[in-house]
Amino acid sequence: MKTWISYLAATAFGLAATLLFGESALFSQIMYTITALFVQLGGFVLIPLVFIGFASGIASLRKDSKGGVFARTTILWSILTTLLLTLAAGVVFRFFPALFPASSSAGSDPRSLSIITPQSLSQIFSATLPVNPFYSLVNAESFLFPIIIISLIFGYFLKPNLEVIRPAYVTMNSLSETMMRLAKAYSSVGFFFIFFASSYWFTHMQYEGTLFVAGRFLLMLLAATLGVLLILLPLLFGIASRFRLNPYKVIYRMLAPAIAALFSGSIFFSSPMTISLSRHNLGVQKRVGTTAVPLYTIIGRGGSAMIATLSVLSLLYAAAGQMPSDKVLLIVALSSAMFSYLSPLYLGWEVFFITTITLQFLNLDLHGAELSVIGLMPLLNGLGILLDSYIAAFGAAYTTQRMGVKIDSSYRDTI
């Protein structure tokens, strides 16, 4: 059974389980515990996959002199999607504004904001380039950037331009193929994980109850997400690829990692699926998938920035009692886009981080109203990571197409 079908079926079973047992505190606790374990499993697969695959991919790109094309297309796609998605959020809010609902976390202790206290630059740099590079591999629980830097350095010098280096290159390439096999197996059984993740997600939404009385806010979020997913991203991808690829084929063939992203709210959980399925379902070369997708976990967070933009504007609308001006809409959108590049530091809290840091940056004191975001984090962060997963998939396909190395994959060969 294809992954996009099995993942949808698992979601349906998760919803059914919630309707039957959702009021049970024991059921909710079991679903949460198992979901947390599976999210950690995603990191278990992703971290060695990135370390080995990224180094091997960089070496391969350098071998064929494709590094320049890869860098240009990746950076261009990141900047374009981040800016356009946040601006699109401002446009949606301009014509369909909604008040941010008071969730169960409203009025919480303001010290909760300590979870998004920015680290100093010295701390970030010391974590990025430690004295012992293997220390980063051992302690990389929620941030891929140090691993990417180490793999980039290793991969750069792994270029097989000398006979003595070729055995090391071949060995690393074989190890990356092994990790891709593991990622494929992880993706194939992911529907089992989705049952528990979706059950907890639906249970949390049922317990929260806020959205049942905030239909306009929910409709605004869904309209913005679907508009970006079905119109803006396909149009941008079509222009970038010169309309040589069908964007809607990307959407349905990469539905599995998008579902995983929605219900887990974790880019670590969904990225191994994105790397594996982009290869098998989109024809993305291994060296592109294992390098581009990890990079997009850092620089391709336009989805999270878009949801954060809507959250900030809704909070301002609710606090002030009047519609923010067009200038405020633009400033909030650009600020969210800027801070999205720091959001990977706060895995699972990306939308909350961008929202609160944007308010702090603009000196907007809402007297703790922003804590309402916490109660809706499964929905808000889930939608943001869902769009981020598609940004990575579209970006990898775009880079492969511009490099001229895309392999056509028939539906029969997809997983």
pLDDT digits (tens, 9 = 90+) for 251-263: 999 999 999 999 9
- What is the distance between the alpha carbons of residues 145 and 298, in angstroms, rounded to a whole number? 7
Section 127-150 average pLDDT = 68
CB of 83 closer than 8 Å to CB of 337: yes
Predicted confidence (pLDDT) at residue 348 exceeds the cutoff of 70? yes
- What is the distance between the alpha carbons of residues 81 and 7, in angstroms, rounded to a whole number? 26
Predicted confidence (pLDDT) at residue 167 exceeds the cutoff of 70? yes
Residues 6+ apart with CB under 8 A from 166: 160
Predicted confidence at residue 368, as pLDDT, reads 78
Averaged confidence pLDDT in the chain? 89
pLDDT bucket at 120, cuts 50 / 70 / 90 = very low
Any idea which of 113-122, 161-170, 268-277, 308-317 has the lowest mean pLDDT?
113-122
CA 403 to each of CA 56, 231, 278, 374, 392: distance values in angstroms, whole numbers, following the listed order: 17, 25, 16, 42, 16
CB of 341 closer than 8 Å to CB of 75: no
Section 238-246 average pLDDT = 92
Q: In this predicted model, which residue has the larger pLDDT, 144 or 55?
A: 55
Please give the radius of gyration of the chain, using alpha carbons only, rounded to the nearest integer. Answer: 21
Q: Percent of the chain at pLDDT above 90?
A: 71
Q: In this predicted model, which residue has the larger pLDDT, 83 or 206?
A: 83
Predicted confidence (pLDDT) at residue 335 exceeds the cutoff of 80? yes
Q: Which of 408, 335, 344, 20 minimizes the C-alpha distance to 206?
A: 20
Predicted confidence at residue 106, as pLDDT, reads 57
Predicted confidence (pLDDT) at residue 102 exceeds the cutoff of 80? no
Predicted confidence at residue 212, as pLDDT, reads 75
Identify residue 108 by its one-letter amino acid code. Answer: S
Domains of the chain and any CATH numbers: 3-405 (1.10.3860.10)
Section 297-317 average pLDDT = 96
Burial class (CB in 10 A: 0-12, 13-18, 19+), 123: exposed
pTM of the prediction? 0.93
